[in-house]
Structure 1
Amino acid sequence: MFGCCVAGRLLQTNLQQVDETHALFELPQASTINHVCVFLLGTVPFPDGYGATVHFFWPEKGFQLLGMLSNEKPSAIFRLRGTFSSNSSSNQSHAAFTSTSLMQTPGTDVTAVLGLSIEPLDHIQAQMSNLNSALDKVTPDLTKNPTILADRIVKHLFNYVSSFIGSSRTVTPDVVVPMSIIGKWYDSFMSKLKAGGVGFLERSE
């Protein structure tokens, strides 16, 4: 049902089913990961009224809620490096994800976990509201950091383009994106920028 792609690595489809509503991907050599993309494969949609929260677990540091997926939003990209901050979400999800033992070998890099929890959309929206409120308190000044600004713009473009692929198609490196979609993104991006500055980039997933 889910796929995962770490920037610079091969596509992962080795999803581990924990129970009926929880699944995870193991992410080896996690310290080298900058961005991760999670998406629906397009084979099995969510039941009506349901979606999934996406969690990141770093051994000895805890959990971080990254965002969500739904039939209307079948893919998302998340920045991991330099953004980890443990925050509260479903304890049930945490217990499910950590039920899989991650054996770390001395001298090797850490293996992290990307967890997916299928939940009712109203529960997910409540968690996302809390996440957005927490992010608003630590929002960096994008105008003073061109690296973060560039990261947010690329992330915004990726999510916009991904929304046109839809849940009925498999996301692969060979998917062709018409230039008209890039043009629409640019027009929309510039309108938001002129209307309220760059703040919308921090509220986008």
Structure 2
Amino acid sequence: MFSVIIPGRPCLTDIVPVDPQPNGQSTKFAFTIPLAPDFSDLVVFFLPGTVLPPDTAAAIYIQFPDNGFRFIGALANEKPSAILSTSPPPNLAPGMTATLGISIEPVQSVAPQLATLEAEKGASGQLVRQSRQITTKVLAQRIIGNAFNFLASFASSDQDAVPLKAFRDWWTKFERKVDMDPTFLEREDPSASG
């Protein structure tokens, strides 16, 4: 029904039903996850053919040693996979495990938890963006510096004209670089060679 991927580890498929019902169906499942090596994110997804009952969602919780279960996200028929942040406590002893719980619940009980989680993420994400934000002037200087260095490589002296095609080539290369790494201009010493 569900599977979990933790970066750098094999895919987890050993899900355990927690509340077997007389009809053989279960609404609560668990994965046991070794805490070593460290991880901070995981991916939870439906296996092919999995469809939740109407008006339900799969609420996802994590429990670290000495802590209760904490809601970290949800899946639904419209959203069959998610990358979730786990935020493990620091200094966990080797050999310990976490429990990832998945509970099939009514959408109306999952939606408020999801809204609260998104609001918390939004607030912390905004703080991170503000702390990394660079001024428009610095960003403009870096873009122009990148263009100048690239175009200057076509000239042998200050008097040489640079063909317009060189600018188009720089722009194509610059766009490709931004697509591959949108934050390269935010770093202290971006590569200015184009």
TM-score by length of 2: 0.57
Instruction: Provide, for residues 24-61 of structure 1, a one-character-per-residue CA deviation record: whole Å limited to 9, x for no partner.
Output: 11001356113211000022310111111111110113
1:68 aligns with 2:74: yes
SS of the equivalent of 2:104 reads: strand
Higher relative contact order (CA 8 A, sep 6+): 1
What's 1:116 paired with? 102
What's 1:179 paired with? none
Structure 1 counterpart of 2:116, from 111, 130, 136:
130
Identity of aligned residues (%): 30
C-alpha displacement of 1:129 = 1.5
Structure 2 runs not aligned, ≥5 long: 20-25, 134-178, 183-194
Structure 2 counterparts to residues 126-205 of structure 1, below 5 A: 126-139=112-125, 140-145=127-132
Residue 10 to residue 115, structure 1, CA distance change in 2 (3 Å): same
Structure 1 runs not aligned, ≥5 long: 86-106, 147-185, 191-205
Structure 2 counterpart of 1:21, from 27, 36, 51:
27
C-alpha displacement of 1:65 = 1.1
**Pairwise CA RMSD:** 2.4
Contact 1:39 1:75 in 2 (8 A): yes
Instruction: Provide, for residues 66-93 of structure 1, a one-character-per-residue CA deviation record: whole Å limited to 9, x for no partner.
Output: 110001000001133xx358xxxxxxxx
Q: Distance in 2 between the 1:124 and 1:130 partners?
A: 10
SS of the equivalent of 1:46 reads: coil
What's 2:154 paired with? none
Equivalenced residues, count: 125
TM-score by length of 1: 0.54
C-alpha displacement of 1:112 = 0.3
Question: Aligned AA for 1:144?
Answer: S
Contact 2:40 2:88 in 1 (8 A): no
Question: Aligned AA for 1:123?
Answer: S
Residue 33 to residue 121, structure 1, CA distance change in 2 (3 Å): same
